[in-house]
Amino acid sequence: MPIDYPWTDAPAAGTVREVAPGVAWLRMPLPFQLDHINLWLLADGDGWAIVDTGVGLDDVRALWDRILEGRRVTRVIVTHFHPDHLGNAAWLTERCGVDLWCTQAEFLIAHMAVAATGPRHGEARMRHFRRNGCGEDALASLARRGNHYPRLVPALPEEFHAFREGDALAIGGRRWEVITGCGHSPEHAALWCAEAGVLISGDQVLPRITTNVSVWPDQPWGDPLRLYLESLERFRGIGADALVLPAHGLPFRGLPERLAELRTHHAARLAETLDAIVEPRSAADIVPVLFRRELDTHQLGFALGEALSHLHRLEADGRAVRVVGADGVHRFRKA
């Protein structure tokens, strides 16, 4: 079944749109080139469960105030710790007097991300970028940007309800099964309701763009692409008729086709990367191979991490070897 988009536009700012019985869609702005995030309301008795929260900025909170007028909130659920998903979790749980629900790894790494400020953490980030071939101009830009997480997540809840793979949340008399994924974040949670035929996929499955899968400074030797591709297998039992509600882009049907596209995309990226390392090249050298456009500092960090994830995947399966130069830069060449 080809991918089908039941809607051609998104709800206007400050409004909601029903996409299935008891499931409503709203959209919030983001201060990036990717300028929006989709959020969801699930009917829950005489109130609504919120799924994902937007960034913790005043304009987003003003839109939430409009949306919540006359609505009772029962809980706040987040798919993962990234600022566009978790940024308003503390504000919303306090405003509405409810609890946060998320996986344990996402709660813990959010607290780690907020705390990762100061010279020691900045030096670790710079070591990572320097080791992977960034030049002085790029290093200066990345240093100026620093850790942007606390600016978009100004506070975090201090307690939460934990759920994990295989659990099910009872929301409004329906069973929402938790499907966790790795690679994009440590324990990303998607929610599948077989009765409604609805999958809230978060960032794990997006309709047109591919979710970022990066090696980050806190886990500089990781193989997140393997984890991400393995995680996609957990969606295999969901059919083409399911309505997929992604964090970015438009809701769609045709999940099996999209999963096949994602696997093909990463196979092609791995092939491109392998072709580019006949001679030893760093992750920074691979960025323009995989991203053939001008990148701002925000995008550069993601692009470098993604290039490195493909290099690490090639290294792990024996198709590439790591060469550490006298300059301390890690480069990879075809095995």
pLDDT at 139 over 90: no
CA distance 29 to 6: 22
Q: What is the helix (H) or strand (E) element at residue 161, kind and residue range?
A: strand 161-162
CA distance 304 to 283: 6
CB of 24 within 8 A of CB of 17? yes
pLDDT at 121 over 90: no
Q: Residue 274 contacts by C-beta under 8 Å, 6 or more apart in sequence?
A: 314, 319, 320, 334
Phi-psi region of 183 (alpha: psi -120 to 50; beta: other; left: phi over 0): left
Q: Smallest Cα–Cα separation from 141: which of 294, 286, 326? A: 294
Other Cβ atoms less than 10 A from the Cβ of 143: the count is 14
CB of 26 within 8 A of CB of 53? no
CA distance 178 to 162: 11
pLDDT at 89 over 80: yes
Task: Tell me the per-residue pLDDT of 282-309, one tens digit each, with 9 for 90 and over.
Answer: 999 999 999 988 888 888 899 999 999 9
294 forms beta bridges with: none
The whole-chain average pLDDT of the chain stands at: 96
Domains of the chain: 17-276 (3.60.15.10)
Is pLDDT larger for residue 71 or for residue 33? 71
Whether pTM exceeds 0.75: yes
Q: What is the helix (H) or strand (E) element at residue 76, kind and residue range?
A: strand 73-77
